[in-house]
Amino acid sequence: MDVVRIFDTTLRDGEQSPGFSMNTQEKIRMATQLAKLGVDIIEAGFPISSRGDLEAVQAVAREVRDVPIAALARAKKMDLDAAIEALKPAASSRLHIFLATSDLHLKVKLNMTREQALEAITAMVRFGRQNVAEVEFSAEDAGRTDIDYLCQVCKAAVEAGATILNLPDTVGYAVPEEYGAMFLKVREALDDAPGVTLSAHCHDDLGLAVANSLAAVRAGVRQIECTVNGIGERAGNASLEELAVALAVRRESFGVTTNIKLDQLFPASRMLTEITGAQVAPNKAVVGANAFAHEAGIHQDGIIKNPLTYEIISPETVGVPARSLVMGKHSGRNALRVSLRDLGFEPSDAELAEIYRRVTSLADQSKTVRPRDILGIAHEVIRRGASSVTAEATSAA
């Protein structure tokens, strides 16, 4: 079975989003967890952006020895020089060079012609290849680049020495069918050149980053660029945890696997949240607080009988300690009985009915019913039940 390599850019693209900046020690800590997670390559930063970022890439490269470290550079010699310097301590390294290729970016942002862009790509990839063992080239805004010109760009990059070609949906404009078709066209133009890996890098501006990445896998892509918790520019990048779980759960459908250790997904997510202070949405797939929480009575009853009824993967598989049966106005008596057992109670049917009545009444008034609320209600109902029995016995005597 083919392996899809996971290129993690949490420390580079993820860090570029507002509020997600990390210092050197935080980058090292996160990179260590990413290595434990099993990512295939860690993009540690953009060295030309600041001396601090260059030194952070160096520090990560010194500390993390069992995963290749990548550094980003524009197709400019000063960028490449900074990236090459930053990667010197790495046990294994990759130079990641990019240049925009869409007519919009070439004209408005770079003031370059197509021919000038091809010359820059060829020269800088060749220079990079002379200094670093592995070079990846990214055609920025590939999703909006003329397909014939994009094929020219890819051929030029490969001829100059690039062995990984990344075709990003930089602005999150693509839809799955179009994005997959783009890779098929490039594969055809390259005649599936041996030793060349195609890579996908998707942004989530239309909420399609994961779907587009999966479409790329179906089209033959064998590297996905993504981030923990889906952080990144604007609406973010494709979410690492969602992609890893999708490819694991639907392995037979995609016919590929990854090297990700699924039980490290939740710890990685929590660590990033702790470092950045940015919480994930409760309904975030895989790692959100509600991803394995069930409130509806019908769902709770199914989960109690067989978790597969409403969970396609167990919480423990992705590192979540346990599922939760949340008590609310939609909850059922079976879930309440299980919750009471977890709290050390074995109520009678009559006691359960009264506790259930009080819990649902409280839930109508409050958004959440906490375990301590259930504990208080159970104590009161069961104590009252015991007192009633004692009073009846005394009266009879």
DSSP secondary structure code for residue 319 in this structure: T
Over residues 356-376, the pLDDT tens digits come to 899 888 888 877 787 788 888
Q: Tokens 């520090």 — which residue?
A: 59
Please give the helix or strand (H or E) that residue 45 lies within, else none.
strand 41-45
**Domain range 2-276, CATH class:** alpha beta
| Residue 243 predicted with pLDDT over 50 | yes
Q: Using CB atoms within 10 Å of the CB of residue 167, give its burial: 0 to 12 exposed, 13 to 18 middle, 19+ buried.
A: buried
Quickly count: other Cβ atoms within 10 Å of residue 99's Cβ. 24
Return the structure tokens found at 359.
């819990």
pLDDT per position as a tens digit, 120-176: 999 999 999 999 999 999 999 999 999 999 999 999 999 999 999 999 999 999 999
DSSP string, 242-293: HHHHHHHHTHHHH-EE----GGGHHHHHHHHHHHH--PPPTT-TTTSTTTTE
The residue assigned the tokens 């597969």 is 308
How would you class 126 by CB atoms within 10 Å of its CB: exposed for 0-12, middle for 13-18, buried for 19 or more? middle
pLDDT at 374: 84
Listed residue (106, 100, 105) closest to 168, CA to CA: 100
**3-state helix, strand and coil shares in percent for the chain, rounded to the nearest 5:** 55, 15, 30
Tell me the per-residue pLDDT of 26-66, one tens digit each, with 9 for 90 and over: 999 999 999 999 999 999 999 999 999 999 999 999 999 99
Q: How confident is the model at residue 333 (pLDDT cuts 50, 70, 90)?
A: confident
Q: Kindly state the average pLDDT of the residues 323-331.
A: 79
Give the list of residues 6+ apart from residue 338 with CB closer than 8 angstroms, or none. 304, 325
Backbone angles phi, psi at 62, to 5 degrees: -70, -40
Query: CA geometry: angle at 18 spanning 14 and 22, to 5°?
Result: 60
pLDDT classification of 387: cutoffs 50, 70, 90 = low
Q: What is the pTM of this model?
A: 0.88
When pLDDT is cut at 50, 70 and 90, the band that residue 228 belongs to is very high
Q: How far apart are CA 288 and CA 279, in angstroms?
A: 9
Mean pLDDT of 181-195: 96
- Hey, where are the domains in the chain? 2-276, 293-392
d(CA 289, CA 374): 20
Q: What is the pLDDT, as a whole number, of residue 336?
A: 87
Alpha-carbon torsion angle 232, 233, 237, 239, nearest 10: 30
Name the band, by pLDDT with cuts 50, 70 and 90, for residue 393: very low
Q: How many angstroms separate the CA atoms of 140 and 143, rounded?
A: 8
Q: What is the rounded CA–CA span in Å between residue 335 and residue 15?
A: 41
Residues 103, 317: Cα–Cα separation, whole Å: 45
Helix 51-63 and helix 77-87, axial crossing angle in degrees, nearest 10: 40
What's the confidence (pLDDT) of residue 77?
Answer: 98
Q: What is the mean pLDDT of the chain?
A: 93
Match 């009824």 to its residue by tokens.
Answer: 309
pLDDT at residue 396 tops 60: no
Task: Answer whether residue 392 shows pLDDT above 60.
Answer: no
Neighbouring residues of 243: CB distance < 8 A, sequence distance ≥ 6: 6, 210, 213, 214, 224, 226
* Pair 272, 8: CB distance under 8 Å: no
Query: pLDDT tens-digit profile of 14-27?
Result: 998 888 999 999 99
CA atoms 39, 41, 44, 46: torsion sign? negative
Contact 249, 313 (CB under 8 A): yes
User: Are the C-beta atoms of 19 and 39 separated by less than 8 Å?
Assistant: no
